[in-house]
Amino acid sequence: MIRFTETVLRDANQSLIATRMPYDKFEPILSEMDKAGYYSCEIWGGATFDVCLRFLNEDPWERLRKIRKAMPNTKLQMLLRGQNILGYSHYPDDIVRRFVRASVKNGIDIIRIFDALNDVNNLKVAIEETVKSGAMASGAISYTISPVHTLDNYVKLVKEMAAMGVGSICIKDMAGLLTPKNAYDLVSAIKDAVDLPVVMHTHCTTGLAFMTYLKGVEAGADVIDTAISPFSGGTSQPATETLYYALKEFGYDPGLNEASINKIADYFKPVRAEFIEKGTLNPISLTTDTKCLKYQIPGGMLSNLLSQLKMLNASDKFEEALLETPRVREDMGFPPLVTPTSQLVGNMAVQNVLAGERYKNVSSEIRAYCRGEYGRTPAPINPEVRAKILGDIKPLEGRYADTLPDDTFEKTKEKLGDTARCEEDVLSYIAFPSVAEKFFEKRKADEEKVVKFSIERIE
């Protein structure tokens, strides 16, 4: 049997249309999605939280509760950046625990937990609290390629996550760099090492995804992440229906309701058309781009480098910056290139090229990274580079989160007063302070408008 996780409401939505799909747009199809027989639906976390508050004027918690109600029979899944929760900075353990508990309380069944550096110290608390809350923790590998990212090291990571109590292992290939051969080898190695379901996550960016899934499934993968066809391909996941038909022919039981997935596809076709018309969906996101296979740099990072150089009137330095990027990455201990490390490494490479001297202009983020605030790097940071960047600053001993205050929640709650109506409001504010504040103000103003309107009607 092979099971499917449908990503249309989270990753596909995020990858193709910057998470701009409002709740009302997909509400009518939720009950059909509930009948499709998915292993799970990824619906929350990642950018959905921020975008709901910032652009859609939606309370992300309310969205979660509504989906829960409309889909009582399907496991709801979210993506969590370990100790960073949904953002890019580290939070105290108490906040991580509260966030996990609130997510489960509001309807989440599976939390996929990852860390940009694959540092288990950044996964531990979130995994522990997920299990304690009665949900399933899925331990994710941030997949990358480097001399230290060997099968042995991945297996070591997987075993550590298994010991922490995860219910499944996810291979999270955020850039579409996982090749069919490497997928086969990696899934086989994980399957040999632990007795846990293996979930595969990739993107079609480089065009490998369908082959990668097929080889991964042949090696014993249990679940694949796919997106219903109108929101599949390009920077999104491979199409659900395509893999359904292909795998079924090979004798796997996909466990999906064929009529349902076709209805879901029909529903999302005009939705996609609307976003193309509005210009939110750029057809370029739907094409195949193999450049990242050559440079082994995620596609998003290539375009960031180019636009950064353009802004600085230095487009002619693109080749140089491209060559500098892997060197910086090596100096930094081969971090997987995913947010926020992709920005750290990319910006540093640009600065090195522009300054004409390496590590002369250094951002506070790179300094924090070298200090150890992001966690343990896959390989040691180049000691000379580290000494130059840190100067007199002392490197951190132990875990950064242990140095953070543990009364953040109480203090924030007190500060917000009546503005925060529940624990979830306080957590929204801690995750995205200014965005949440604006949302709370707007919520109050809207309610006052409604009250005024009803009083007028009574009069």
Give me the residues that bind Co ion (CB under 5 A), please: 11, 174
Q: Decide whether 182 or 351 has the Cβ nearer to Co ion.
A: 182
| Closest distance to Co ion from the beta carbon of 87 (Å) | 17
Smallest gap from Cβ 10 to Co ion, in A, equals 9
Nearest to 99 by CA among 339, 408, 376: 408
Is the C-alpha dihedral spanning 439, 444, 447, 452 positive or negative? negative
* Nearer to Co ion (CB atom), residue 29 or residue 174: 174
Helix (H, G, I), strand (E, B) or coil at 339: coil
Q: What is the residue type of 51? A: V
CA distance 218 to 212: 10
Beta bridge partners of 113: 80, 139
State the minimum distance, in angstroms, from the CB of residue 52 to Co ion.
18
Give the whole-angstrom CA distance, residue 334 versus residue 148. 8
At closest approach, how far in Å is the CB of 262 from Co ion? 25
Minimal distance in Å, beta carbon 338 to Co ion? Answer: 9
**CA 209, CA 237: separation in Å to the nearest integer?**
8
Q: How far is the CB of 235 from Co ion (least distance, A)?
A: 9
How many Å apart are CA 239 and CA 244, to the nearest integer?
9
For residue 92, is the peptide bond before it cis, meaning its omega torsion is within 30 degrees of 0? no
Rounded to 5 degrees, what are φ and ψ at 224? -125, 145
Burial of 328 (0-12, 13-18, 19+ CB in 10 A): buried
Q: Least distance in Å: CB of 453 to Co ion?
A: 42
Shortest reach from residue 294's CB to Co ion, in Å: 21
CA 429 to chain CA centroid, Å, is 20
What's at 307, amino acid-wise? S
Asked if 401 and 82 count as a contact pair (C-beta separation under 8 A), the reply is no
Element (H, E) at 28: none
What is the rounded end-to-end Cα distance, in angstroms, of the chain?
64
Question: Nearest residue to Co ion, using CB?
Answer: 11
- 13 or 122, CB closer to Co ion? 13
Q: Which two tokens stand for residue 173?
A: 């290939």
